[in-house]
Structure 1
């Protein structure tokens, strides 16, 4: 009888080992593993569309061997940091405070110095419009760009200490589209081309992607609009990305739940649509799904987009011409994945579930499928970004 009890214990022990999720970490990977700074933005107060419970910006370290996140600090003196972007040199972090039109003040963009387990605030500037929802900076840290959901963009010069000067460019958008949510212009992101020469602004409200030439030599005229590309009617273009190796660009359409693939002319900045593909399973018939985010793995093999409603990450294989073919859908095991990020080494994906207070960590398998790895509890997470 004692022998049977011991056998049962051993069987149970090895069964638990066999249930470990995600890829095994080899000894070589452990020895060469790096840690990366990770920043998680949250909604910190109640707004009309969300019950914000976060404390601000959470600071983590990413272990590249395991994919796990280790919390090291929090920057609490900020309201609704709904989008973040680290500088390319790893010294600074820029965040927008998403303040809605129900308050007297416009939104703000805040500059921080990265200081290990905390952030040191440098300064802040007004975004001159409500609900700033996206921020970016060029690879040399010359300008910071902000998109305000309530119809405007702004450009700021960056000082030597990483701080922001007063806005040197502001543009209000007008127009509307056929969808009920397209009653006005809604620029949703500001995206630089890989060479920093062009800026692309998807406008959810008008189905346009506005194209600008960036002028770094003349701060009096940092942007010159050179054209626009339309997606299909009622598409609602939201977030945008470039292929790391091919001259292709991709936009995720929030309202039509699709990804549009475009040829990108590196000389003129022009975009030409070559494909549009759904983000939802063919048998999914429920209404109310909207798309949020889009990213490509560093090796250029796979593209992922997020569904809010279906609550999934859809994966596609990218062929030699940049076109997409469906791989699979992976549940985010939470509600409303507003944002996600891919680790710098391309091995893991982190989905921020806004309404269920969790970040799901998934491993990216060799075939592009996603596999559950771990869950990290974070209140109202809405942005995940990695530094150097």
Structure 2
């Protein structure tokens, strides 16, 4: 009887294999990609930061595993990172809160294998910078400050940042308790680099700008705004890789808004809104954080903090979403996640449980556990070329 029970248990373990095995073909075509993980490095009002700065890894595309190769210290709260398209530089914000005398900063680095070489830094002219981006040709760097402002910087040939050539303070508020003021939360370029979209969590607007590369004295011109639903709290934003569709995750209403995107005018028009939570989820306090589309355009994922899950959707021919399922992040407060460049794996950064969960993406879009990587207070995962 005891042997029989052990045998049944052994079969059960075999049946619960957590992730697909790597094939010989995948091993032969495997590539490695640089990976960068931003962390909170000190205690703030909303987080007990324990990270050392920016962690450098190599991603093995065959297994999806991360191999740590270095760490860049001497930076405070690098909560968001963006690598340049040519793989030479990395830009990071220092998220400094309003309880200190100095504004936030944006820092430029040169990628140098197992370490980063600091080039220079510039003030962001406001507190709590929370997002940074750059165009595909490395002409400008854009920064969003949660405490009400955006800024634009010219990029020198060596990757360094000049003084800001554009600064804009945001005003307004919404109806939710978190919407006591304007809170621009991300700065997102269109696939053609011609437009910049800034979701403002505080006013429920997505502001649209025309980007001018010919005249650095006037890099941005605001041309419109798109309102998401009341008390939505738009946060992060992304585009479909082939369809003229844009998607925004709404932090406060726990939803994803789908929009038509006019490539000529930059205009956005809402066509769908869908919840990020299970229909039977009754607990309060969940907020959304991040959103990404797979490189093949078949699936979209968004992160729930509170429910602590990644929700997956299938994308149809019109760009609309239908629920696949929810996968636990096996940690607390997934503030950010990334999809591997080949679209096979997803990496969820659990801010409050000091771990990154690696999930494989199935042909049906379902997520399966692959591995866990221990990292102190991880809040941003980005991949280079």
Q: Normalising by structure 1, report the TM-score.
A: 0.97
Match of 2:3 among 2, 6, 10: 6
Shift in alpha-carbon separation, 1:167–1:25, aligned structure 2, 3 A: same
Partner of 2:79, secondary structure, is strand
Question: 1 CA distance for matches of 2:197 and 2:2?
Answer: 65
Question: 1 CA distance for matches of 2:7 and 2:134?
Answer: 55
For residue 14 of structure 1, report the CA deviation from its aligned partner: 8.4
- Deviations along 1:318-358, one digit per CA (max 9) or x if unpaired, are 00000000000000000000000000000000000000000
For residue 22 of structure 1, report the CA deviation from its aligned partner: 1.2
Question: 1 CA distance for matches of 2:199 and 2:65?
Answer: 33
Match of 2:176 in 1: 179
Question: 1 CA distance for matches of 2:17 and 2:219?
Answer: 51
Question: 2 CA distance for matches of 1:146 and 1:357?
Answer: 26
Partner of 1:6, secondary structure, is helix
Match of 1:336 in 2: 333
- Deviations along 1:276-307, one digit per CA (max 9) or x if unpaired, are 00000000010000000000000000000000
Shift in alpha-carbon separation, 1:143–1:25, aligned structure 2, 3 A: same
- Deviations along 1:28-82, one digit per CA (max 9) or x if unpaired, are 1001100000000000000000000000000000000000000000001100000
Partner of 1:356, secondary structure, is coil
Question: 1 CA distance for matches of 2:277 and 2:126?
Answer: 33
Q: How does 1:341-356 map to 2 (within 5 A)?
A: 341-356=338-353
- Deviations along 1:3-28, one digit per CA (max 9) or x if unpaired, are x9999999998876665421211101
Partner of 2:100, secondary structure, is coil
Question: 1 CA distance for matches of 2:348 and 2:273?
Answer: 23
Shift in alpha-carbon separation, 1:257–1:5, aligned structure 2, 3 A: closer
Question: 2 CA distance for matches of 1:296 and 1:233?
Answer: 25
Question: 1 CA distance for matches of 2:324 and 2:186?
Answer: 27
Count of residue pairs brought into register by the alignment: 385
Partner of 2:7, secondary structure, is helix
Partner of 1:81, secondary structure, is coil
Which sections of structure 1, spanning at least 5 residues, go unmatched? none
- Deviations along 1:120-146, one digit per CA (max 9) or x if unpaired, are 000000000000000000000000000
Question: 2 CA distance for matches of 1:311 and 1:335?
Answer: 6
Question: 2 CA distance for matches of 1:5 and 1:285?
Answer: 43
For residue 251 of structure 1, report the CA deviation from its aligned partner: 0.1
- Superposition CA RMSD, Å: 1.8
Question: 2 CA distance for matches of 1:42 and 1:6?
Answer: 48
Match of 1:197 among 188, 194, 204: 194
